[in-house]
Chains A and B, each alone.
Chain A
Amino acid sequence: MIPSAAVPRAASCLLENAWVCPEYLTSRRSELVDAVVAHLQITVVSVVVGALVALPLALLARRVRALRPVVLGASTALYTVPSLALFSLLLPFTGLSRTTVVVGLVLYSLTVLVRTVLTGLEGVPEEVRDAARGMGFAPSALLWRVELPLALPVVVSGLRVATVSTVALTTVGTIVGNGGLGDLVYDGLRTDFRAEVLTASVLCVALALVLDAVLLVAGRLLVPWRRGVA
């Protein structure tokens, strides 16, 4: 231990193990930036992959009536599985890696995304579909140029819920050593370092709120015809 008298005054909040400590922000700056970047990467990759998996599943559930309850039931049941158990159960397949966390988070995101994509597509009025077919739209053009754009507001709302949940859940990935800001929270617990725990926790909530706002704005920009409606 360094005697307190020998330490500059500015560092005292670290010695006092204060919850709020500006000194921590400057001295561990690169560590914090790395954790935020890792957290962001895990979240974005998980939600993007989740959306790419959810779309064909939703289309399948729409096309084949009999599969609808199966697809919805399976994706909804996933939320029952506690994250710590899910990450552990993936371990034999993907090991102590970031992949384990991403696969787990993709599975959780499906709970929300499959349902919202399906709801969005089913909300497209039948007259709109008829009109597009009458104008000579092929099935794929109908999907990409008419149905998905009209489903976008609902899909974006699902993406927002999935993203915010994913940011929070990423922290549990620390059990396999890839929890982004969760790694700092866990380290702070083991070393009894309050500033590290509080800073990482606040950054995590802030990240969720910022991503939510980004998606909200992006959604508004992508659906200009609804601007000012809701």
Chain B
Amino acid sequence: MEITVESLKKITFFKEFDSVTIEKILKISKLQEFDVEEKIFDEHQKLIDIFVLLEGKVILGINVPGKGKINLGTIHPGQLFSWSALFPPSISTAYAFADVPVKVLSIKASKIQELIGDNDTFGYKFMKIIGQTLSKRLSDTRFQLINMASV
């Protein structure tokens, strides 16, 4: 699978960026593949990359004392995960593993921070997408919280 600017343009995450910007992101990214059940990152682990899922399905979860691993979320193609990498101390808030064979675009967080520092407009757009992603996830988590509390 070759990743091109054109192929990334079709992904929700990149929809607001122009070709030049995507090209820049592509330069600091690489394609990574994970096999079924393979760990992508652990909970409370130092993160270096942020990920955009290209193919497959990723499960997020946390370890609960006395209960073990509890899977709490699913990442579908086009969605971002590992956003904590962008924010020091860049420690993961959940574990992630591949539920089926997956392909992810891993983007160097330090390099993204450089791009953001160089270009305010890019920085705004990028952080807006992160903000929107987190806002939605927060709302869903509240919904989930209420659901689980009402069992």
Asked if A and B bind, the verdict is no
Give chain B's interface residues, CB within 8 Å of chain A: none
Give chain A's interface residues, CB within 8 Å of chain B: none
